Amino acid sequence: MDKKRILLIDDEEGMCRMMEAVLLDSGYAVKSYSRSVEAVEAFQPGHFDLAVTDIKMPEMDGLEVLRRLKEKQPGLPVIVISAFATLETSIQALRRGAHDMVTKPFEPDELLYRVKNALHHNQLLTENRELREELAGRFDFSKIIGSSDALKNVLETVKKVAIRDTSVLITGDSGTGKELIAQAIHYNSPRKNENYLAINCGALPESVLEGELFGYKKGAFTGANENRKGLLEEADGGTLFLDEVGNLSLNVQKLLLRFLEEQEFRRIGDNASIKVNVRVVSATNADLQEGCRTGEFREDLYYRLNVLNIHLPPLRERPEDIALLAAHFIKLQNKKFATQIKGLTPEAAQALAGYDWPGNIRQLRNVIEACMAMEDSDHLTLPVLRQFIDVGAPAATPVSAAALWDDDYAVSLARFEMEYLRQLLQNAKGNVEVAAKAAGMNMATIYRKIKKYDISKEDY
């Protein structure tokens, strides 16, 4: 697989060399600059997968670097580093399109963790864009995998509500595929040739979310250097999908209610109203009725959003769909990585069907992907599956009484943790991300424990 390419900009040469060394050691291709002007002038769209830039630099500061890089390559994820981070600086960076901020001083592991997350997030965005392009104007219900009566009932409802231009609230547990249903509604509606835009209402702070939804006028706040359209304006004629709508602040709820009632809104800092024609489809895994009772969610907004309701059942309630979904994900992974996994062994298939799947379809997809990375045979087997979900592990090798009682509790616990970590990394063939998923830990914790116990690559 090609190395991810990172652009690194920091006027402190020592810091720049340190970050470059850390990233190179982790397998990234890195081009570093100590002069921001030189970096921006040399930047070519498509040559980098990620940029990391300091904020406080002579000639051209990091916010200006961020703006210019985004002008040249809008989809480029940018991590901003600062020793003087303030709320205002953070808001400016986020509004200009920064993916993340890191405050000096920081540990190398933190930098690696942020870089990994930014690249993964950007990969998901790319996949979502490709999915929308694939679906646009030609969505086929057969792309929603499953044969259960529960899913068939959902799809029958989608067919009926898609042609009716009204608000829809999709409910269901996290990972059940609510956005896929929202896309099905849009691409089977009269609006299918217009924009379908989506936003996660739980991923942004209130001030940023308000600007994203409604836009703002130049000069409305510090950093608003130009007029900007919000998603409601961009989606005019089409559909806006509000994911995790239960996380909206009361202020944004009030503004959204006004729009739904009047189909018009005002940009932040503007006195003029803008009228648009947008269908709103929303989704939540929260109990909005309970939110209405506690005052956390406006009852009048709830009824505006919930004109029509579609409930997606969790995967545990549609076990007959598990095998079909697993086969679908295996096919996708085979195509992506040119592998030849033929399917699941009977024991592995039985284990998948009997598992509770608290993370639903998203968890199943991730487990299949992780198993395919670890599997050595042409079928996914139960021993590999056991590394990622609890399907009943085989009996453990007995530990001698001497091993248990020779040392005090802390020493014994440390010995166990070190051995567990070493075995975990061996099973994952040294892949820290796979090991972290298998253990239910984050990568930063794994890195800290490797350092704590001085575990070298030769150990695993």
Do residues 351 and 382 touch, judged by C-beta distance below 8 A? yes
For residue 408, what are the contacts with CB-CB under 8 A and spacing of at least 6?
A: none
Task: Provide the H-helix boundaries in 265-359.
Answer: 288-294, 299-305, 322-337, 346-354
What are the structural domains, with CATH classification, of the chain?
Answer: 5-120 (3.40.50.2300), 136-313 (3.40.50.300), 318-385 (1.10.8.60), 401-459 (1.10.10)
- Its pTM surpasses 0.75: no
Cα torsion angle, 63, 64, 69, 74, sign: positive
pLDDT lower than 50: segments of the chain = 1, 135-138, 393-409
Give φ, ψ of 281 to 5 degrees. Answer: -115, 130
**pLDDT at position 142:** 57
Buried b (16+ CB within 10 A) or exposed e, 243-279: bbbbbbeeebbebbbebbeeeebbbbebeeebebebb
Closest CA to 299 of 345, 250, 259: 250
Hey, is 228 helix, strand or coil? strand
DSSP per-residue letters across 398-458: PPPHHHHHSS-HHHHHHHHHHHHHHHHHHHTTT-HHHHHHHHT--HHHHHHHHHHTT--GG
Reduced to 3 states (helix: H, G, I; strand: E, B; else coil), residue 280 is strand
Torsion of CA 144, 150, 155, 158, to 10 degrees: -130
| Cis previous bond, 105, omega within 30 | yes
pLDDT at 86: 60
State the pLDDT at residue 452: 75
DSSP state of 244: T
